[in-house]
Amino acid sequence: MTNTLREASPRRIALVTGGSRGLGRSTALSLAARDVDVILTYHTNRSDAETVLAAIREREGRAEALQLDAGSIASFDGFVEDVKRTLAEWQRNSLDYLVNNAGIGLGGPFQQMTEPEFDRLMNVHFKGVYFLTQKLLPLIADGGRIVNLSSGLARFSTPGFSAYAAMKGAVEVLTRYLALELGPRRIAVNTVAPGAIATDFGGGRVRDDAAINRQIAAQTALGRVGIADDIGPMIAALLSDENRWVNGQRIEVSGGIHL
């Protein structure tokens, strides 16, 4: 069953996973600035999510935060029911946008990667994206849009990220298949691949380690490390009607790293 009706409200609705901090937070706030109502997810830190909700509601937007473990596929049915309840409260039965942003920063040399670490990365970054999108698909309106987050590491190689980058490469292939298979419903699906960003992701090394920050800046055409607000507004713009004909694409937003 698909949903095409936008019942009581002309405002669009987006679901942003991992929307309580970092790139997800910037995306949620950037969407709200475009008059999009936002359902965001958080894993454990409800207080960070509440901060984002307050900022959105301050500009008179609607927002709700739902708990989600993006690597726990068994929990997705219950999460979808939570989404349905939120939509019903907003007098809607469908979403317009899905941003698969939730992730974990876990790396290590190929020789030392363990199967449990590999599985954790797989569950969050690929298997979770695959099956959460599948579960939410009946709630995405015809003509809606999906953005999957990848990484510059799927294009260039940096020691210590073989598993993480492989999962992101899988997401990029999945994006192309989704763009083709969801085409009859006019749902556009794209990948956004950030470069190195100064957030708390991966323990905040890019943000907090001055030597790493300088090294990355020296490898980037625009001469600095990215920040979350280099990415969130771009995702919001990509989801807008101005970019309705962009489909099945990998868009790297990295300031020109490793050109």
Quote the mean pLDDT of the chain: 92
pTM of the model as a whole: 0.92
- Could you tell me how far CA 57 lies from the centroid of its own chain? 21
Amino acid 5: pLDDT: 43
pLDDT band at 205 (very low <50, low <70, confident <90, very high): low
Give SS3 for 4: coil
E strand residue ranges, 29-116: 37-42, 63-67, 95-100
- As to burial, measured by CB atoms within 10 angstroms (0-12 exposed, 13-18 middle, 19+ buried), residue 7 is exposed
Amino acid 210: pLDDT: 77
Q: Which residues pair with 141 in a beta bridge?
A: 3
Active site residues: 164
User: Model confidence over 6-48: pLDDT tens digits?
Assistant: 444 469 999 999 999 999 999 999 999 999 999 999 999 999 9
Q: Label the pairing between strands 95-100 and 188-194.
A: unpaired
Average pLDDT for residues 99-120, to the nearest whole number? 92
Amino acid 134: pLDDT: 98
Please name the fold of domain 13-194+231-253. Answer: Rossmann fold (3.40.50)
Domain ranges in the chain?
Answer: 13-194+231-253, 201-227
pLDDT of 238 over the 80 cut: yes
Token digits of residue 259: 């050109």
CB atoms < 10 A from the CB of 41, how many? Answer: 25
CA distance linking residue 243 with residue 236, whole number of Å: 10
Amino acid 192: pLDDT: 98
**Lowest-pLDDT choice from 14-23, 35-44, 78-87, 189-198:** 189-198
pLDDT band at 201 (very low <50, low <70, confident <90, very high): low
User: Model confidence over 123-170: pLDDT tens digits?
Assistant: 999 999 999 999 999 999 999 999 999 999 989 988 889 999 999 999
